[in-house]
Structure 1
């Protein structure tokens, strides 16, 4: 049985042998390409097998249905509005943007045929691909792009600094202009974002949307939306008129083909049911298999384990809460934490987590050692001293969590115990994840909570360092100033020096959130499913099923 694992950060440096050797020494994890599929060796070792064609192994054919055991009910299917990973895992098959990330995280044209940047860095000209149609049959035009990008910017506060004062204009039906007020680092990177992806929808869908989101899920991707039964499934089907790009598949970019007729993302929130279903063959694919079942998956010759680079995990402080507006209290909590204990509780096996303090992780070009000495201190005496210097007086507060997300819940239980050791009084508020998402918008309801956020391409996208309420509101003046200076830096080298300064400040003084580490997800597919690739979760286009 073949195990597939996602390590996209290595792929960015495959041409440099020495760098590969260094990266290989830094981790004991399988470093196979994230673009590796899940084919197994079906070679028949029986010497007589070639003489009887009826006994040959099954051949792959297009068509059929994929039944997917999906771990969570998505709160929305609107990529502009939702930061939910569950949203992205489904909607990446329906929607596309101007750009898409390749397996190294670099932006590649998708709905754009090409992009031209003016010499002064202020004007980006996007030339749209010809012949692209939406799932409702209407052609992709520049008006759709302008409406979609303006709406995306309206909802996406994490990149507001990148596009501040910018304008989008339709020059003609197939040409879109982005005009910036000042040259900015990372413009195209933000357009290949995974969470809150800047997908393109028809203008009329955007115009008809209200505060709750779009009411029609119409994109340009290889699969089209069919049905969303809130407590049952999301059904998508092959889009027969899809126009793929003519480049090799890589990450979320390149050629896409719908090789099955239908995909049913069935909401199976009970983990044991997902395990039983993938084991029995009731499901073809299963997301988020419990880590305790890893050995069971590996031992089953009919199942392939799919280990995907997941999301960095954070303990996020609510800095609009009166209690946690106190910087000393935040530092005390951070100083007390034993992050290895926290990660092991949620991820069980070292194959599924790694220590990393970087707000931009070691899997990115922005990684910096700055602030490392403040990470994973587990210094209880120092934590108590900081607590004495704070305004904290034994008040009980709520740590939001959800047993719907076992990794987060297990981490919360361990953190609660660690806080007891320094005299911090934490109550677990265990709700379904949709309720957690609602409560975290109210600063009176919580003190901190554990959550994960997808890898991003530039520091301005790091949610825990942004101003969004659900991520703790890191609206510190010095932090914002450093973000602005990074974006307007004259060179990448200058920008990275400023980023190191920002990260040092965040760890040593401001402490907006504690990064615990990087994580990996365990997923599974039956061995008759071929072609699944991995990019921060599963990619199900170019995937076929043997009947």
Structure 2
């Protein structure tokens, strides 16, 4: 084991040296060494007859603060909680709705009435029946109090009613075609009314410690700092499912240890940011692993440099445009993220509804950047410095540190001096949410639709101090507010696209943030398992149909 770890450290040291050299060379316009080979899709898994049995070990990092998915929607909580809880719908890789707790649904021609027909033989993990009462309680009481995105979605309803135990009717105040995308398990997890309705202190309900859902796996044990153990729900409403006996979510804080655990077969799956990009090419060559970037189509993350639009000189869009021209985003994709993702050309991810492909492009152009700074009157001083800004480094691993270092070197070429500031996750969240920064890195999820996951970043009504993943940069444009509001309630898809295309053109010109990449997360899965990534919510799915390959 010691020999393997030593080899791992040497490999990392070589990568870090090459990366640092490449960063500097690229920033200075010098030739760079070629990076990792282009990433390819995972090979198809061998056909096999599903059968019951087997244990799956999955990395979870960081450890979730809680498993009650209605109360917490952080990535690790979604991955674990998605096996315990369910929404009314799930979504395929093209973002089309699929049945979950709702077996079918109807939308009225005027787009105002959504009727969901529920499965009739569903039980909660404690044996109580699941009915429309649970959906009514979840969407009218529980989620509006504790879940900000769900609160906004269900506030659009004039009424939410249940004509019988297995039918729920949502009547909207005005058309909102994105509403059909609001029922995925993390966006609207259905909560057991019989455990929560009598105790309105939802955040301190004793049931939070032993989550009860309708999903194919039940909570059994949580050993803090070590693992979370889920077991098969033998009363699951789909006959014969799930196939697996149980799932262990293993807490492994160190990135090198996570990679080693995958290689050695100690764990069977990684997801999201578990694996540093510089480890991906090596792990792809391991004979025991399959690799894919599928399964993130619903969240469709876009990364950016977040710019505090309140602070000079960032409050001038010419300065923000100059920053875009200072960056080689293709280099960021190729050499820092090692081929994961693609350069972002819009605030809307190309996998998300209403993406506009025909927008002006920012490519690295130092002369244009300097010209814009000259136009602002930012002339170089005796040391060649035109402006000074602080960069609050995103504390989510070595790759984000390397990005900050690259930005510092790149902006120096145009006379902008960048001071890097480091903090822990709690400190970063506090500073960003309270607007105490000039620049930082960030990324958010789009949830399949611009009205659900994109507009929240740019509309002035969502400038909320102390609230993370809101419009923390303080960008405000009345025309953008108007376009997002109009598009959200436009039923005609052609007219809706025209509105979203116009708002994208304005944002690309205003540069409220410096978009970097449409991110791809590397998912590694042991070849012992089939049917793992099957929908657009990927690793957050129920895993009801995952099974072990017979050898």
2:235 is equivalent to residue 244 of structure 1: no
Q: Distance in 1 between matches of 2:241 and 2:397?
A: 32
2:136 is equivalent to residue 152 of structure 1: no
2:66–2:72 CA contact under 8 A, matched in 1: yes
Cα offset, 1:101, TM superposition = 0.5
Residue 452 of structure 1 corresponds to which residue in structure 2? 443
- Secondary structure at the aligned position of 2:522 is classed as strand
Q: Distance in 2 between matches of 1:163 and 1:185?
A: 14
Cα offset, 1:439, TM superposition = 3.7
Residue 490 of structure 2 corresponds to which residue in structure 1? 489
Residue 248 of structure 2 corresponds to which residue in structure 1? 264
Cα offset, 1:104, TM superposition = 1.7
Q: Distance in 2 between matches of 1:153 and 1:322?
A: 37
Q: Distance in 2 between matches of 1:136 and 1:376?
A: 58
Match of 1:223 among 214, 217, 227: 217
Residue 253 of structure 1 corresponds to which residue in structure 2? none
2:323–2:514 CA contact under 8 A, matched in 1: no
2:303–2:516 CA contact under 8 A, matched in 1: yes
- Secondary structure at the aligned position of 1:401 is classed as coil
Q: Go from structure 1 to structure 2 and tell me whether the alpha carbon gap of 1:359 and 1:377 turns closer, same or farther (over 3 Å shift).
A: farther
Cα offset, 1:107, TM superposition = 1.4
Note the 1:76-155 alignment, pairs <5 A.
76-150=66-140, 151-154=142-145, 155=147
2:369 is equivalent to residue 380 of structure 1: yes
2:37 is equivalent to residue 39 of structure 1: no
Residue 35 of structure 2 corresponds to which residue in structure 1? none
Cα offset, 1:454, TM superposition = 3.1
Q: Distance in 2 between matches of 1:73 and 1:439?
A: 22
Residue 470 of structure 1 corresponds to which residue in structure 2? 468
- Secondary structure at the aligned position of 1:496 is classed as helix
2:273 is equivalent to residue 297 of structure 1: no
- Secondary structure at the aligned position of 2:58 is classed as strand
- Secondary structure at the aligned position of 1:367 is classed as coil
TM score, norm. by length of structure 1: 0.77
Q: Distance in 1 between matches of 2:322 and 2:73?
A: 29
2:349 is equivalent to residue 361 of structure 1: yes
Moved more, 92-101 or 79-88: 79-88
Residue 11 of structure 1 corresponds to which residue in structure 2? none
- Secondary structure at the aligned position of 2:404 is classed as helix
TM score, norm. by length of structure 2: 0.77
1:335–1:382 CA contact under 8 A, matched in 2: no
Q: Distance in 1 between matches of 2:182 and 2:378?
A: 40
Q: Distance in 1 between matches of 2:50 and 2:150?
A: 43
2:400 is equivalent to residue 408 of structure 1: yes
Over residues 220-240 of structure 1, what are the superposed CA-to-partner deviations in whole Å (9 max), with x where a residue is unaligned? 111122334442222222111
Q: Go from structure 1 to structure 2 and tell me whether the alpha carbon gap of 1:162 and 1:218 turns closer, same or farther (over 3 Å shift).
A: closer
2:434 is equivalent to residue 442 of structure 1: yes
Q: Go from structure 1 to structure 2 and tell me whether the alpha carbon gap of 1:305 and 1:124 turns closer, same or farther (over 3 Å shift).
A: closer
Match of 2:420 among 425, 428, 436: 428
Moved more, 229-238 or 489-498: 229-238
Q: For structure 1, which runs of at least 5 residues remain unmatched after alignment?
A: 1-27, 42-58, 246-255
Q: Distance in 2 between matches of 1:73 and 1:309?
A: 21
Q: Distance in 2 between matches of 1:354 and 1:536?
A: 19
1:96–1:220 CA contact under 8 A, matched in 2: yes
1:146–1:170 CA contact under 8 A, matched in 2: yes
Over residues 135-164 of structure 1, what are the superposed CA-to-partner deviations in whole Å (9 max), with x where a residue is unaligned? 222222222212222343453348837843
Residue 312 of structure 1 corresponds to which residue in structure 2? 302
Residue 173 of structure 2 corresponds to which residue in structure 1? 181
Q: Distance in 1 between matches of 2:508 and 2:95?
A: 26
Q: Distance in 2 between matches of 1:417 and 1:454?
A: 28
Cα offset, 1:409, TM superposition = 3.2
Over residues 159-214 of structure 1, what are the superposed CA-to-partner deviations in whole Å (9 max), with x where a residue is unaligned? 8378436432333332222121112221102223x7x4211011233644545898
Cα offset, 1:306, TM superposition = 3.3
Residue 24 of structure 2 corresponds to which residue in structure 1? none
Over residues 334-383 of structure 1, what are the superposed CA-to-partner deviations in whole Å (9 max), with x where a residue is unaligned? 343221232234311x2x22223132222234221353334666643145
2:176–2:491 CA contact under 8 A, matched in 1: no
Q: Distance in 2 between matches of 1:394 and 1:343?
A: 27
Residue 248 of structure 1 corresponds to which residue in structure 2? none
2:359 is equivalent to residue 371 of structure 1: yes
Over residues 58-112 of structure 1, what are the superposed CA-to-partner deviations in whole Å (9 max), with x where a residue is unaligned? x975223222233422344344454533332222222211111123211123212
1:69–1:286 CA contact under 8 A, matched in 2: yes
Cα offset, 1:398, TM superposition = 4.1
Over residues 450-499 of structure 1, what are the superposed CA-to-partner deviations in whole Å (9 max), with x where a residue is unaligned? 22333432211225335264235155432221111102224100000000
2:93–2:295 CA contact under 8 A, matched in 1: no
Cα offset, 1:506, TM superposition = 0.8
Q: For structure 2, which runs of at least 5 residues remain unmatched after alignment?
A: 1-37, 380-384
2:103–2:117 CA contact under 8 A, matched in 1: yes
2:328 is equivalent to residue 338 of structure 1: yes
Q: Distance in 1 between matches of 2:238 and 2:530?
A: 20
Q: Distance in 2 between matches of 1:416 and 1:441?
A: 23
1:399–1:429 CA contact under 8 A, matched in 2: yes
Residue 512 of structure 2 corresponds to which residue in structure 1? 512
Q: Distance in 2 between matches of 1:290 and 1:284?
A: 17
2:202 is equivalent to residue 202 of structure 1: no
- Secondary structure at the aligned position of 2:447 is classed as coil
